[in-house]
Chains A and B, each alone.
Chain A
Amino acid sequence: MPTCDGEKVAIETFADYQIIRPPNTLREKVRVTADDPVARAEAAVAELSPHFASWMDAECDCLDAARASAHASGLTKSTAAALLHAAHDIKGDAATFGFPLIAEMADGLCRLIESAREPSQIPLALIDQHVDAVRAIKREQSGEEASRIASRLREELDRASAEFLGAHESAAAQETASPPIVP
């Protein structure tokens, strides 16, 4: 009989599968406190927020460096992977850092690289336009006009990417958000 943390695990066996119920040892280890852990976490994030703009700059620098490598060596497997890596980092972090429009732009670049059957065929000008757009949005930061222009830019870049991917028979990925806890 298998065990978990020294306790027995209940197993029901059916024709071609088993249902296993391990003991809930975590519940016994949880300590209930009076304070609000979500508020405490949010306060900790708020304390870090003065660094967000410089962290965003550092990630933009990485993207720029990846772009420079792509220009120097062409879009090879490794330079395309470096670009995707840098864009993916920005896509994941920018909204947390307070730059949701940059996250969207980086998402567009990720999709372009990931959906292209042959990344080496992606026009470098299209890569440049995405990277420059990320930089421009970071520079202009906020304001209604800046947001409007950024959204328009995103639409235009998406259109240009779709045109390229359409011409190269891409396999566009279906996107999803966090699945709910209970569907």
Chain B
Amino acid sequence: MIRQPDANTNPYVPIIMITGHTEKKRVLAARDAGITEILVKPISAKALYQRIVNVILNPRPFVRTKNYFGPDRRRSLNPNYVGGERRNEERDPLIPQPALEKAKLAE
């Protein structure tokens, strides 16, 4: 519930998620919930340190769309990309986030 653009707490706080869930579906869901970095267990001190350094030295801008608020999920620009604009939510909807939807309804 940190990633609420109008929350009283700092909605831009970096979130480094450490998880044993390795299913791609869950990792993508976490990304679409607005986490900054994800580490899949087992983790090493070096891997965690690199993420912390990255969060501090290379912060990504935040993106706010109709259905997403969080760090830019594009970490690099691909000059060879020729597809459509995927920020168009109607054409390319996000993975549904039941927990977030529920929270929005409860507001």
Contact = CB atoms under 8 A, between A and B. Distances in A.
Interface of A: 2, 4-5, 9, 16-22, 24, 26-27, 30, 37-38, 41-42, 45, 88-89, 91-93, 95-96, 103, 107, 114, 173-179, 181-183
Contacts of A96: 41-43
Contacts of B51: 181
B41 A176 contact: no
Nearest to A180: B75
A114 B21 CA distance: 11
Contact of A183 (B42, B59, B63, B76): B76
A178 B39 contact: yes
B47 A174 contact: no
A18 B45 contact: no
A46 B36 CA distance: 29
From B22, B46, B55, name the one whose CB has the most chain A CB atoms within 10 angstroms: B22
B46 A26 contact: no
A16 to B, nearest CB: 6
B82 interface: no
Given A20-B12, A37-B49, A38-B45, 17 more contacts: A2-B5, A38-B46, A42-B45, A88-B21, A92-B42, A93-B42, A107-B22, A173-B23, A173-B25, A175-B24, A176-B40, A177-B22, A178-B47, A181-B54, A181-B75, A182-B76, A183-B76
B103 interface: no
Interface string B25-40: 1010000000001111
A4 B9 CA distance: 9
Contacts of A88: 20-21
From A16, A96, A176, A177, name the one whose CB has the most chain B CB atoms within 10 angstroms: A176
Given A26-B14, A92-B42, A20 B24 contact: no
Interface in B49-64: 49-51, 54-57, 59, 61-64
